[in-house]
Amino acid sequence: MPLARSLSVTSLSGLEDWDEEFDLEDAVLFEIAWEVANKVGGIYTVIQTKARMTAEEWGENYFLVGPYVESNVRTQVELIEPTNPVLKSTIDKMNSSGCKIYFGRWLIEGSPYVVLIDVGFTAWSLDRWKSELWEHCGIGVPWFDREANDAVLFGFLTAWLLGEYAAQSEDSPHVVAHFHEWLAGLGLVLCRQRQLPIATVFTTHATLLGRYLCAGSVDFYNNLAKFNVDKEAGDRQIYHRYCLERAAAHCAHVFTTVSQITAIEAEHLLKRKPDIITPNGLNVKKFSAMHEFQNLHAQSKSRIQEFVRGHFYGHLDFNLDKCLFLFIAGRYEFSNKGADIFLEALARLNYLLRVNHSDVTVIAFFIMPARTNNFNVETLKGQAVRKQLWDTAQTVKERFGKKLYDSLLVGQLPDVSKMLDKEDFTIMKRAIFATQRQSQPPVCTHNMLEDSSDPILNCVRRIGLFNSSADRIKVVFIIIIFHPEFLSSTSPLLPMDYEEFVRGCHLGVARSWGFLPSRPTCQESVVLDFIVPFLLTGIYILDRRYKGVDESCNQLTSFLFQFCKQSRRQRIIQRNRTERLSDLLDWRYLGRFYIAARHMALAKAFPDTYVYEPEETASTAGFRYPRPASVPPSPALSRHSSPHHSEAEDNEEDERYDEELEAEKDRVNIRQPYSVPVKNKVSGVLGANGSGDEVPSEKN
């Protein structure tokens, strides 16, 4: 019986229904990546969030393949016996041949099946497989590159797994193997070299050589067509890695990238134009109750404020109610992740806020992993002092409350001068004296092992942001140590999960090769290197192409300064505009691009069974942005229904805000979507867009 495709976007208001069904009974999908149940970077998040949608589409015929890392398996994977008889016999045969293959469920949304390969267990075959790689593909891997050695082991074991699965199958199912990034790409190359009956898809989220070039002092975007790619890769001692990635891109039936700008990069550096753009999405969580997401923001912000009270104890000379929280998070790549431009923009923003006598204070969080030996003593002491002050306040409050209660019981108004005795004042004075310190609040929460050469700390020293009283910009560098998530609710310093922390911040900064939505609960986002202007919707864009670093810093500073000048009511309105875009970023919508890529591969690998015919882009009337369920009534027309605002904002001009009018402006300003051309089997339509759906333009 054919597996009914349960995926639908009918819940997305403003998008056309997408009700095509695909016959996937004899099709099997293997999705291979080094970051399956193994967090290294952002690809882990992409695969993790997309798994639910893909599992709903493919059902029991969807398997993720990744490396076996014991520390991750203990906390993220439930090991079970394979339910698929063909896969069970495949794993049993490989294990009996000297491999170590595990099967289980990944404990994330969708609970997909995972096949985990212990690459270290077969390290004895490394030299033999390297020789085979050189003999058949002409790619040599040096002995000292441990990451490349792991890629060789993982690639050969993956190809072995797929080949064995095809050999064990009696009915010759239509197997699709989707490989992510160069670390998994060798398995694709071997599948094609061995002529396995498998449809292959290769996705690069950012080219390897592009990462290295961007990390150096190279005018990357303006010289894409001029690079001697072989020389550049050789100079950086990554030529063997580059060859693996380029071979995978050229051998794949379908080659995809995550954005239009990455497609241009791949065309010049990998010498193949991508067949389709597969934008990354996220699982948008809708709230049924009015203002629920705003209440969650207030709760998370309150917990961040508690951390700030402890971190800046003794120097808490700013108003937390007029404090904005900014953050940047990701792998510790100083230039690639945009930390260099962000810090420079913060220094210029600090100057603007000071000369304009602004009462707004900005606290910028850097959430990145680095080598440390322990928590900073001053940081831990600050949280201890904060807790001591809270306990003191609670003690005095209880004593005060008891005296007030006794006075009211006898029918007398309390004498305020007698409510606090000498002992109470002594306790409070001791608590105040405990908060005094001579040093400035620390910039870094941990003791860095290489403090003198750390790029963020060196930049902070250069621009002089030392958290002094005169600075309107405060910097907090929070180090993450060997944890699968960026933040943890078990941390003694900031006990919050990453999503809770993001929800409590006001604005996030993300470096992106195109648009990589990885901040699902942030109020607004600043995305570097994105093209389409969405300024009014709360997404600020820096187009880094054809611009110098100084010009980009000035533009980012301008965005941040304009954001700092907004009132709380204006930020709420902007957040509602941002929410109106969330449907376009949902995997239920963007997942159709991955579906189109897989079926395009099936049509190329099995032309007798599947047909793929590109279609012309259908003209559309535009995307209608729905009014979010959580949006409050217009602040200008119904002030009592709006979230409470400060008294300082009562004197602001009473500007009228018409939600429908603003939505109409958004519909005019935002680009038209385009349709995904996909066809089904000979007997019907294969694609994700047989009815002419609308999907984001290439630059989305």
Domain ranges of the chain: 27-277, 290-376+442-584, 377-438
Report residue 361 as tokens. Answer: 């204070």
Helices (H), 169-207: 181-193
Give the list of residues 6+ apart from residue 433 with CB closer than 8 angstroms, or none: none
> Are 155 and 181 spatial neighbours (Cβ–Cβ below 8 Å)?
no
How many Cα atoms occupy the beta-carbon half-sphere of 151 within 13 Å?
A: 27
Give the list of residues 6+ apart from residue 640 with CB closer than 8 angstroms, or none: none
Tell me how far apart the alpha carbons of residues 371 and 481 are, in angstroms, rounded to a whole number. 7
Tell me how far apart the alpha carbons of residues 552 and 556 are, in angstroms, rounded to a whole number. 6
> Are 627 and 666 spatial neighbours (Cβ–Cβ below 8 Å)?
no
Tell me how far apart the alpha carbons of residues 457 and 21 are, in angstroms, rounded to a whole number. 54
* pLDDT recorded at residue 268: 95
Q: Which residues of the chain have pLDDT under 70?
A: 1-24, 286-291, 479-486, 512-537, 614-700
For domain 27-277, give the CATH number. Answer: 3.40.50.2000
Tell me how far apart the alpha carbons of residues 93 and 257 are, in angstroms, rounded to a whole number. 35
* pLDDT recorded at residue 412: 85
27-277 and 290-376+442-584 share one fold: yes
Report residue 4 as tokens. Answer: 């009914």
User: How many residues are given for the chain?
Assistant: 700
Place of tokens 């791949």: 266
CATH 3.40.50.2000 assigned to 290-376+442-584: yes
Tell me how far apart the alpha carbons of residues 463 and 468 are, in angstroms, rounded to a whole number. 13
* pLDDT recorded at residue 597: 93
CB atoms under 10 Å from CB of 462, counted, come to 11
What are the percentages of helix, strand and coil residues in the chain, rounded to 5? Answer: 45, 15, 40
DSSP annotation of 282 reads: B
Among 309, 323, 308, CA closest to 646: 323
Q: If phi over 0 gives left and psi between -120 and 50 gives alpha, with beta otherwise, what is residue 172? A: left
Report residue 169 as tokens. Answer: 């199958």
> Are 103 and 92 spatial neighbours (Cβ–Cβ below 8 Å)?
no
* pLDDT recorded at residue 537: 63
Helices (H), 5-125: 42-58, 70-76, 85-96
User: Of all helices (H) and strands (E), which one includes residue 418?
Assistant: helix 416-419
Would you say the C-alpha torsion 500, 584, 681, 249 has a positive or negative sign? negative
DSSP annotation of 129 reads: H
> Are 275 and 696 spatial neighbours (Cβ–Cβ below 8 Å)?
no
> Are 323 and 306 spatial neighbours (Cβ–Cβ below 8 Å)?
no
Among 69, 60, 180, CA closest to 120: 69
